[in-house]
Amino acid sequence: MKRKGFVLDVVANNIPYRPNFQTGWGNACLIRGPGCAVLFDTGGDGDSLLQNLEEVGISPSGIKYVVVSHEHDDHTGGLWAFLQANRKALVFAPASFSQAFRSRVRAAGARLVSVKGPGRICEGVYSTGEMRGRKWEQSLALRTAQGLVILTGCAHPGIANIVERCVRVLKDKPHLALGGFHLKDVPGSEIDGVIARLRKTGLDRVAPNHCTGASASRRIRAAWGEGFIETGCGASLTIAGASPPITAIRIPVPDHAL
């Protein structure tokens, strides 16, 4: 039987892509896969997020899981409007998040999962666990027939470190990295070093946006050529063929205590 793949919709971003979507500084991606709908980050503005979700044809009540990458307002700001519309969502946040954030999630009536190590969110969707950088942050990896699709919020721990960790933990090749790469203030020589590390992993395609920066994006485009994908607010990507669940290694299932 052919397995369904994933549809990824960028529903918050500061880079415009489709004119009917509301842009603003931040990042959020809706993941629709074979087992669940997951909202990865929530952008900085709740009204814009909800409008953009409406544009892709899904209501907040149709999203079971929310995964927040790191505790910056441009990734958490839309959460509160979302939770007003869906109090039953399960929110996955790094264990390092502040008590104020945790209290606010619980006050909204939602359930909170503290993420430490790598773990499974739902079928085919895995967290890297929190990784240390300028800010503690988690990223996501989707298992597909093409390889791992890696989603980042800002990649504060380093985009190359994140991709390498996904490969190491999930024991699969990387296919696509999508999201903020946080290279906007990085010197060109360092960007070239990051590109070299990413190329070494065998990463097929790249879709940088948000905080990647124009200079870094140009260098990444030159390195990947046709493997570079333009994305921004309203972009939609279809990834065919989700891979079967992992059996060779143990990845915990969500139990409110990853």
Task: Give the pLDDT score at 3.
Answer: 57
pLDDT one-digit tens code per residue, 122-149: 999 999 999 998 889 999 999 999 999 9
pLDDT tens for residues 10-45? 999 999 999 999 999 999 999 999 878 999 999 999
Distance CA 229, CA 207 (A): 5
- pLDDT band for position 248 (cuts 50, 70, 90): very low
Q: Is 126 exposed, middle or buried (0-12, 13-18, 19+ CB in 10 A)?
A: buried
Where residue 63 falls among pLDDT bands split at 50, 70, 90? very high
User: pLDDT category, 256, cuts 50, 70, 90?
Assistant: very low
For 167-205, letters b (16+ CB in 10 Å) and e give bebbebebbbbbbbbbbeebeeeebeebbebbeebebeb
Domains of the chain by start residue, with CATH: 6-239 (3.60.15.10)
> Residue 242's pLDDT band (boundaries 50, 70, 90)?
low
- CA-nearest of 137, 171, 187, 185 to 157 is 137
Mean pLDDT score across all residues of the chain: 92
Burial of 248 (0-12, 13-18, 19+ CB in 10 A): exposed
For the entire predicted model, the pTM comes to 0.93
The torsion of the CA quartet 79, 82, 84, 89, rounded to 10 degrees, works out to: -90
Contact (CB, 8 A) for 157 and 137: yes
Asked if residue 252 has pLDDT above 70, the reply is: no
Amino acid at 1: M
pLDDT at 243: 64
Q: Would you state the pLDDT for residue 247?
A: 45
pLDDT in tens, 178-195: 999 999 989 999 999 999
